[in-house]
Structure formats: structure tokens, C-alpha cells
Chains A and B, each alone.
Chain A
Amino acid sequence: MKRAPLLLFLAAMVAVLALASLLIGPAGAGPVASLKALWGGEGPLGIVLREIRAPRAVLGVMLGVSLGLSGAALQGYLRNPLAEPGLIGISAAAALGAVIAIQAGVSTLGLGVPAAGLAGALGGVGLILLLAGRGGSGLGLILGGIAVSALAGALTALVLNLSPNPFAAYDIMFWTMGSLADRSWGHVLTALPLMGLGWAVLLRTGRDLDALSLGEEAAASMGVDLAALRLKVVLGAAAAVGAATAVAGAVGFVGLVVPHLLRGAVGAMPSRLLPAAALGGAALVLTADIAVRLIMPERDLKLGVMMALVGAPVFLHLIWRTQVGK
């Protein structure tokens, strides 16, 4: 099918949206002045562009790629269009790490919270591997993810429950809504190594996921090592999503909706869906992050809230359309 044109189109869309993300913000400078300031401009506008808007745009791309890619890989592995990155419990585990750090008094502006989020994600990965690394089926992975999610969710609630500090509880509540506001290059560098590792692992699962479309038995007979594939998908998604949640909080729906939207355009083949969903995820996150700045510039509308507000109706519409189409 028209594979390269679609990827080129998506890449162009991401580039345009990233540029728009650089040019839109409360500083209110014109586009030309902003671009000039970006390339070595001195003064406050240069600092705003290079130290606030640029990392925000880059982080938006990274977040979208992580969520879109993980969603596509998990749907491919579980052979279920309802799978999404939150399913394996890593977002909840990363959130727990971050919440404990906030409760302990770490500022939400620094890198202590993302670091704690990463630690939480790693703990979650360890648990999942313990549950999913011993062979077994996709069902075991889903149940393991639900268990890890429930445990992390309960511990997060416990922290809030016992919190003696109402301001920390307030911070926790806002942090978990998910946002790209006030992120720095430090956040980008904190997340990038683990995310990059996750992307590299996930992008290499395409051929095996294709064979898995025929069922586990047929795939195994064609030489797919199912245990190794499962490990790659779980580790890759956990690394990408864990790092994403650690720096940006919990942002839902991207990993669920983007593979769904693009599946038809790539002929449904999982290996072709992976790169398309990565770029599509980036485009969606950038769009939403621009929208939160345009809709309510003076209020801090959270990215995760925006995504759920728009994502849920879009998803309902998709379900409606596919059900009526049958």
C-alpha cells in the first residue's frame, strides 16, 4: 500500500505542529520575531523559546511517540484493538513513584519527581516481568497488568489518604492529570535514554507481530519465539510509557485511539502500524498541547484532561461507526 506517502505525511504533520507549538504561548510574540529569537536571539524571548517552548515541543513529540508506539505494539501482541499502554500497569507504577516523591516534599518543578517516577516504573517493570516472563499467554499479561495497576493505585490512594499536607495532596492531584507545561531540557534528558531504548525494542517487533496476526500457533510454527516477543513488547512498552509518565504524568487515550485511527490506512499490518502510530501519537499530543494553550491561556488546563475530554467522544464515535458498519 501507499506506505511511504503516509509516513511522510504524518512526519510533515508532526513538523508543522512542533513549529506551531514553538510559536504559541502566553509571551504573545509574533511568529517571525519568535523564530528569530529561537536562533540565537538574546533577551527574554530567546530564553522563553529555547528553555520553555522548545523542550515542551520536544517532550510532546517524545510522549506521543512513546504512547502511540506502545499502544500499537500492545494491540498487535494481544491481538486486541482495546489494548492500551496503561493496561500493563506501568503508568500506575510510575505515577506511584512520582506521588511518593511529591508527598515527601520534592518540588514538582525539578527533576526529583521524574526520577522517582522512573524508579516506580522500574519497580513495575520488575513485577510485570516476574508475572509475564515465565511464558504463558497474553491473558496472563493482562491479568498481571491489572494486578500491578490495582496495587499501585491503592498505594497512591493510601499516600493521599494519609497525607498530612493538603498542599502536597493538591500537587499530587494536579501532577497526575498529566501535563507538558513548565518542563525543561532536564526532563527531556531524564526521559530520553529509557524512552529511546523502549522505541528501539518496540520497532523491532514488527515482523513477529505480523506473523502473530495468524494466531500464536501459526506464528510459533513460522519460527516466532513467542516468549522472546512477549518480553520485547512488555519491556519496550514499559520503558517508553514508564519514562513518559515519569516526566508528564498520566496521559490516556493516545495509545488506544491512534493505532485505531491509522490501522485502516496501513492495511492493518502491525509492522506498518508501528511507525505510523508513533508519528500519529506525536501529532495528537502536540495538537492537544497546543489546544490547551489556545482554549484557556490563563487557566492551566491539563493535557491529560484535554485528551480524555476529546479522546473519549472520538473513541465512542469510532466504536459506533464500526458497530454500525458491521
Chain B
Amino acid sequence: MSLSLRDLTVRRGGRVVVDRVSLEVAPGSFVGLIGPNGAGKTTLMRAALGLIAAEGVSDLAALPPARRARHAAWLPQAREIAWPIPVEPLVRLGRRTDPDRRADGPAVAEAMAAMEVTHLRDRPATELSGGELARVLIARLLAQRTPLILADEPVAGLDPAHQFAVMALFSRLAAEGRTVIASIHDLTLAARFCERLVLMGAGGRIVADGPPAQVLTAERLQQVFGVGGSFLPTPAGPVFVTLPPPPSSPAPAPPDPADP
């Protein structure tokens, strides 16, 4: 089963945060959800999971919570740990939804190895650095072994090597037939690793949806983000870079109070 959203709309205090979003994600794809701050990326994923009330249809939100937890794992943006729980039992928390207890050990070991946190296994999670904690929490996500993974800015705060490692891992999981949807602010990483980008603009609408080269056009970048950008040839293949807006650009200028 993939993820299927139809006309999903979320209102917060009378304001539309996600506006009639329809999205079909096939199994085996790694989708990057991009867009400026406040475009509704997080809200869209929460609504898709059924964690917040929404109008429209999400096949995932329609499942009872326990079954949904076996189908989809969610990595929230907030990296909060209430107690000094050691890393291994923390990763093991991801196993609560799977009735198969024999799979716990291998799943936890595999997830910790994939995120290179095995050497931290006995350290209290509250004593880790921000990046280490982020990797431990991704390991928890992986230990859940769900066919669908939704992650909110999974690579924010990681060092470059681990950013690459996480993105490469997600792409490998997709190649193995699982589905990964991640919101990503780093357009270079998103363009490099995701085979499909979904661009959300102001007002919570999907502005563009397709392969990176088709989504990240100069006009769209200017219109949605207020920046320039292009694909540059490098020894490692074409790499997308964001560029400062051209000097003549009219966009995001503060409104002139003298203007009638």
C-alpha cells in the first residue's frame, strides 16, 4: 500500500494551512517535500498520519492507530527526550507496535548499525550531542520497520557526512520497496537524493510535483522561495545550488506604508 491523499485540507484558527492537497505516492519511492517556512509541510504530514484533524481523505489516517503504527513510522521535528534513557532501550521503543518479539533484537541492532550509533548504546540519550541524538531518533524510526516512513527535517543539524548517509539510506530503503517521504530544507540534498520533489508554496498548496530538474526551475524558485538557483556540472554529476536572488528581483520586498 502506498500513501494516497485526496483534497486534504487543514484549518487552524480559521486560516487554511493545508489547502486541498491530493497526492499519490507509490511504493518504492523517496519523495522530498520542499517549500519555504510556514508552507504547511509539517502540517500536511501530520494530517496524512491522522495526528491532527483534517478534511478530505487520507488512507493512512483512516487506519486504527495501532495498525497505522505498524504501517507508517513518523519522525517529528522536535527532538525531545524526557528522561536519561540509554540509547539501546530508546531505539527499542520503536518496536512497541510489532507483535513479533523475536524480531526486536535484530531490528534494533540493524537500526543502530545503519545510523552508526551502536558505540553509543549505553550512553544516556540526554547526554548526546544534537546530531548524535538526531541519529538515535532516526534509528528508533528505522527499528519500527514500517513500509512507509514520514520524516520531518531528518537531516537538519547533522554533519555533512551523516546528512549524506541518512539521505543515501532513505534512497536505499526506497530501492528495497519501502516508501520514504521527508521534508527537507536543503534543496541540494533533496535534488541529489530524491527521485521526486513535491513543492509546497504559501497557503499550503502544492505548486509543483515531479523530478527535481522539472520542479527546481529558476522561475519557481524565484516565485516560491525568493532565491535563484541552478544545476551546475561537477565531477560528481550535476549538483543543484541555490543562488542569491538577482538584484532586479521585485520579490519579497516589505510592503511600502506610503503605498495607497
Which residues of chain B from 54 to 90 have a CB within 8 Å of any chain A CB?
65-66, 68-70, 72-76, 78, 80-86, 89-90
Is B118 on the interface with A (CB-CB < 8 A)? no
Partner of B68, one of A207, A218, A223: A223
The reply to whether B93 and A263 form a contact with Cβ atoms under 8 Å apart is no
Known interface pairs A217-B51, A221-B51. Does A268 touch B96 (Cβ–Cβ under 8 Å)? no
Closest to B75 in A: A218
Query: Interface 1/0s, chain A 256-292, versus B by CB < 8 A?
Result: 0000000110011110000000000000000000000
Is A212 on the interface with B (CB-CB < 8 A)? yes
Q: Within the assembled complex, what's the spacing in Å between the Cα atoms of A225 and B90?
A: 20
| Residues from chain A with Cβ under 8 Å of B89 in the complex | 267, 269
The reply to whether A214 and B69 form a contact with Cβ atoms under 8 Å apart is no
Is A190 on the interface with B (CB-CB < 8 A)? no
B interface residues, tally (CB under 8 Å): 31
The reply to whether A215 and B69 form a contact with Cβ atoms under 8 Å apart is no
Is B144 on the interface with A (CB-CB < 8 A)? yes
Is A204 on the interface with B (CB-CB < 8 A)? no
Is A51 on the interface with B (CB-CB < 8 A)? no
The reply to whether B97 and A220 form a contact with Cβ atoms under 8 Å apart is no
The reply to whether A207 and B96 form a contact with Cβ atoms under 8 Å apart is yes
Partner of A268, one of B66, B80, B84, B94: B84
Which residues of chain A from 76 to 124 have a CB within 8 Å of any chain B CB?
79-80
| Residues from chain B with Cβ under 8 Å of A269 in the complex | 83, 85, 89
Which residues of chain B from 18 to 48 have a CB within 8 Å of any chain A CB?
46
Is A222 on the interface with B (CB-CB < 8 A)? yes
The reply to whether B65 and A213 form a contact with Cβ atoms under 8 Å apart is no
Q: Within the assembled complex, what's the spacing in Å between the Cα atoms of A296 and B66?
A: 56
The reply to whether A221 and B69 form a contact with Cβ atoms under 8 Å apart is yes
Interface size class of chain A, counting residues whose CB lies under 8 Å from the partner chain? 20 to 34
The reply to whether B83 and A222 form a contact with Cβ atoms under 8 Å apart is no
| Residues from chain A with Cβ under 8 Å of B140 in the complex | 214
Q: Within the assembled complex, what's the spacing in Å between the Cα atoms of A225 and B51?
A: 11
Partner of B83, one of A207, A221, A263: A263
Known interface pairs A79-B82, A213-B81. Does A222 touch B51 (Cβ–Cβ under 8 Å)? no
Is B49 on the interface with A (CB-CB < 8 A)? yes
Query: How far is the CB of A69 from the nearest CB of chain B, in Å?
Result: 17
Q: Within the assembled complex, what's the spacing in Å between the Cα atoms of A300 and B51?
A: 55
| Residues from chain B with Cβ under 8 Å of A210 in the complex | 93, 96
The reply to whether A222 and B69 form a contact with Cβ atoms under 8 Å apart is yes
Partner of B66, one of A212, A215, A223: A223
Is A211 on the interface with B (CB-CB < 8 A)? yes
Query: How far is the CB of B63 from the nearest CB of chain A, in Å?
Result: 10
Query: How far is the CB of A226 from the nearest CB of chain B, in Å?
Result: 10
Partner of B69, one of A213, A223, A263: A223
The reply to whether A218 and B76 form a contact with Cβ atoms under 8 Å apart is yes
The reply to whether B74 and A218 form a contact with Cβ atoms under 8 Å apart is yes
Q: Within the assembled complex, what's the spacing in Å between the Cα atoms of A210 and B72?
A: 19
Is B124 on the interface with A (CB-CB < 8 A)? yes
Partner of A214, one of B80, B84, B97: B80
Q: Within the assembled complex, what's the spacing in Å between the Cα atoms of A80 and B82?
A: 7
Query: Can you spell out 14 A-B residue pairs with CB atoms less than 8 angstroms apart?
Result: A79-B83, A207-B96, A213-B81, A213-B90, A214-B90, A214-B140, A217-B46, A217-B76, A221-B49, A222-B69, A222-B73, A222-B94, A222-B144, A269-B83
Closest 3 CB pairs of A and B: A223-B69, A221-B74, A79-B82
Q: Interface residues, chain A, CB within 8 Å of chain B?
A: 79-80, 207, 210-215, 217-218, 220-225, 263-264, 267-270
Taking A214-B81, A218-B74 as known contacts, 17 extra A-B pairs with beta carbons closer than 8 A to each other, sorted by chain A number, are A79-B83, A207-B96, A210-B96, A212-B82, A213-B81, A214-B93, A215-B78, A215-B82, A217-B76, A220-B65, A221-B49, A221-B69, A223-B65, A263-B84, A268-B86, A268-B124, A269-B83
